[in-house]
Structure 1
Amino acid sequence: MGLSRVDSRARDRNRRRRRLRRLALLNIGMLFAIAALVYGIASGHWLHGREDSSGTPNPPLTADEGPASEPDGSSPQDEGTASAEGGEDKGANNATDAGTGADDAGDGNDVTPAPSEEAEPEPAEEPVRLAFVGDILLASSVEKLMRREGFDYPYAKALPYLQEPDLTIGNLENPITTRGTPAENKKYVFKGSPELLPSLREAGIDFVSLANNHTLDQGVEGLLDTIDHLNETNLKHAGAGRNDEEAFKPAVFDVRGMSIAIFSLSRVVPEVSWKADKNHPGVAETYDPRRAVEAIERARESHDLIIVYAHWGEELSRKPRDIEKQLARAYIDAGADLVVGSHPHVLQGFEHYNGRWIAYSLGNFIFNVTKNEDTRDTGVLNAVCTKGGGCELQFVPMRAIEPSRPEPLEGEARQAMLDQLERISFGVTVGEDGTLRPAAEAEDAGAAGAA
């Protein structure tokens, strides 16, 4: 039976109401989708995946940078607006469909898909800046100068080179004590006052090596006093201790997210009783390298950068002996990233071995004045090292023109020292700015520059 006009109009009204309900539900769904998209952008979930007009992902914003404007003038807010506009267009199309009698509109498949999240890029690795100096004597004539001229006298002209790096490292060539029994059968026996230590720390020194041939100049009592005074001054140390375990233990620093272990070893031990053992205080000796190699291998498992400060070599000799070369390479093979030496009282050369650096002797830094003018030559070795253990080195030539006070060299004197270092190094070039490079790498760089 046919419908009356009244019934037909009622059916049409019902159909329009159903369409309006579907349209309302669709619009509500779109509003939720837009709100979720705007929330994701505002909270930074998709910022790391956005690209600029060139297609290159932009780096995430840091707390220091704040919300910088995009190169093409867009912004996170613009992205949210664009998404909203896309949603409105999609809703308008659905409304048109509804008006033309499309009863199936609003089935949930019309929501604009959210952009896929990309993995957040790793933060840039920040290298650590290290500085190394040679032998430091805080006793004898140096102490007299400090008491007469001021405790800051020895460091005054080198201060920026000591204070600016993240860590500054040297060798302390005397015990710090007011007590002790002087060692017998030694030509030089030193003893420094605890009053001199704070100025060393204030000058920027962070670590001192104790494995050398003077740490026990005042016996075990002097050694233990030295350790106590260094701890009180917040100066880290390694290479000597109450037993061999303590003596072979590295000092550890956490700098810029990097764990740095520093060992101190000596192959210059005046007598057997100076060697640390299980039940006896002393120094970490390396006549037999096996104990040192084992300690380095263990440290490699848990630290990012391994440094060995070694006391070795022949006094006043410009070149290392074969034994020093063998030891340095054994330390690197075990996992050391950088090996630095002292004891000869003069500068020796550098070597690049298996991707790592060796500085065989940095000479005296602050020491008694002697008749040998070469003992006045010194410097600061700067190292910029990454978490992977690679280091870039630069040497700053200095000389103790005034007694026991090193200062940077300039002009011809500076270049002469750099030239001499290159002559006595092993397959290493030294640039005019003091930068060290393996000879093959320097040749490649020169060839590229010529091309």
Structure 2
Amino acid sequence: MSYAAVGALALGAGCSAPPGAGPTGAAGGAARVSGSAAEPGTAHTPTAAATGGANPPAARVRPHPPQPITVAFAGDIHFQNQLRPRLANPGTALASLRPELSAADLTVANLETAVTTRGRPEDKRYRFRAPPSAFAAVAAAGVDVVTMANNHAVDYGPAGLRDTLAAAARAPVAVVGIGPDADRAFAPYVTRIRGTTVAVIGADAVADPTTRHFAAGEHSPGIAVALRPDRLVAAVRAARRAADLVVVYLHWGQERVGCPTSGQRDLARRLASAGADVVVGSHAHVQLGAGMLDDTFVAYGLGNFVWYSRNSRRESTTGILTLTTVGRSVRKVRWTPGRVGGDGLPRFTSGDQALRLRREFADLTGCTGLGRIGTPPV
């Protein structure tokens, strides 16, 4: 896998989506929790041409070379406090973000809230919830997939969890990382974009009350918990057999710590070994560095994105990460930087300020152990 690099992050190397591009089975159709584009044995089953299966010599079809696609990632989104009134009109709630979020072929973000109007609040300091229109708002903004494997998806107990699952089943955006049982919580969202099959998996690797009390079980609902990562590793291996590009979006790390923990680094290596091509994450509320782990692109932390508070400059600095891939290879990387405003929405920067924020993001790679251009990981 080649990498046009953290150096491209600093320079703002572009990777815009070709006209008319868009994922099949994503926002715009009836989505379900996980696996919404295809069930096993259907749309994501490789064709004979793709697998080199037997064809009569005269009729043998050469597979087309993979075409470039763009996949974008944003950090934490919720609709708390001053953001809540925006959901009165979900179609325009995040309208200012749509030009950037919809530019990629596929856009993935972390929806960090229970989706319910009822339920009993959990015994914790911060509790987030939003009505089902939250799904419509992120879809209208250009997000195609959200992960809900995070520490706020079940802030309003079992009743809130039931409501969240019901709303996700009807949502106009694909939802991963949560489900009525573990199989479906760990199931990937699968879509095909210009001949490339993409699988997106969500999981939570943070030890907290949500992962302790609401891990999806064999016959019980909850989130995909990866504190013991064997099940996540198995999900990645299964996706590797069915997809061209395997993406894992994790909730991990330590809040307000800008370098990855040893646990993050170990998990990233396990996922890379299992066949993940892209590993991204959030949870720390600040950005962490990105780079190459052998052939796998890793972005340890994307920070807040649509967020009610701006506790510090670090916590209000945000952006969209866009990768241009060809098959399994990351060819270009773009960091579109911004700052979260008092209304909770990010404003994307330009000129000297954008260049400075790109350089700051690129500099975060220094403590990750990830490789820069042409250098191995440490």
TM normalised by structure 1 equals: 0.65
Assess if the C-alpha contact under 8 Å between 2:87 and 2:137 holds in 1: no
Deviation at 1:220, TM superposition (A): 2.4
Q: CA 1:302/1:195 → structure 2, altered by over 3 Å: closer, same or farther?
A: closer
1:374 aligns with 2:314: yes
Does the 8 Å CA contact 1:306/1:337 hold for their aligned counterparts? yes
SS in 2 for 1:199: helix
| One of 211, 216, 238 as aligned partner of 2:154 | 216
More off after superposition, 190-199 vs 326-335: 190-199
Matches of residues 390-409 of structure 1 in structure 2 within 5 Å?
Answer: 390-409=330-349
What CA distance in whole angstroms lies between the structure 2 residues aligned with 1:357 and 1:388? 10
The 3 A distance-change label for structure 1 pair 202 and 154 is closer
Q: C-alpha separation between the residues in 1 aligned to 2:66 and 2:310? A: 45
Aligned to 2:262: 322
Which of the residues 90, 94, 103 maps onto 1:155? Answer: 94
Counterpart among 197, 213, 219 of residue 259 in structure 1 = 197
Whether contact under 8 Å (1:175, 1:218) holds in the other structure is yes
Match of 1:182 among 121, 145, 157: 121
What is the aligned counterpart of 2:374 among 428, 437, 440? 440
List per-residue Cα deviations over 1:274-300 (Å, max 9, x = no partner): 111112211111111111111111111
Query: Alpha-carbon deviation of 1:214?
Result: 0.5
Q: Which runs of 5+ in 2 are unaligned?
A: 1-57
- RMSD of aligned C-alpha atoms? 2.5
Q: Which has the higher strand share?
A: 2
| Aligned residue number for residue 415 of structure 1 | 355
Correspondence for 1:236: 174
Asked if the contact 1:351/1:427 (under 8 Å) is kept, the reply is no
* 1:2-33 deviations in Å (ceiling 9; x for gaps): xxxxxxxxxxxxxxxxxxxxxxxxxxxxxxxx
Determine which structure has more spread, i.e. the larger CA radius of gyration: 1
For residue 124 of structure 1, report the CA deviation from its aligned partner.
4.3
Paired amino acid for 1:203: A
- Measure the CA separation in 1 of the matches of 2:356 and 2:101: 23
User: Secondary structure in 1 aligned to 2:125?
Assistant: coil
The 5 Å alignment of 1:271-420 reads 271=209, 272-420=212-360
Distance in 2 (CA, whole Å) between partners of 1:364 and 1:301 is: 33
Quick one: distance in 1 between partners of 2:133 and 2:282?
Answer: 25
Structure 1 residues 119 and 217, CA gap change in structure 2 (3 angstroms)? closer
Of 240, 246, 259, the match for 2:184: 246
* 1:133 lines up with 2:74 in the alignment: yes
1:28-78 per-position Cα deviation (integer Å, ceiling 9, x unaligned): xxxxxxxxxxxxxxxxxxxxxxxxxxxxxxxxxxxxxxxxxxxxxxxxxxx
Task: State the identity as a percent.
Answer: 30
C-alpha distance 151-279 of structure 1, shift in aligned 2 (>3 A): closer
Q: Taking structure 2 as the reference length, what is the TM-score of the superposition?
A: 0.77
Partners of 1:304 and 1:389 within 8 A in 2: no
Q: CA separation of 1:400/1:320 partners in 2, compared to 1, >3 Å: closer, same or farther? A: same
- Structure 2 residue matching 1:393: 3-state secondary structure: strand
The structure-2 alpha-carbon separation of the partners of 1:257 and 1:247, relative to structure 1 and needing over 3 Å to count, comes to same
Question: CA deviation digits over 1:119-141, x for unaligned, max 9?
Answer: 97653431221110000002333
My pick for the range that moved more, 215-224 or 355-364, is 215-224
- Higher RCO, 1 vs 2 (CA within 8 Å, ≥6 residues apart): 2
Offset at residue 238 of structure 1 (A): 1.1
1:142 is aligned to: 83
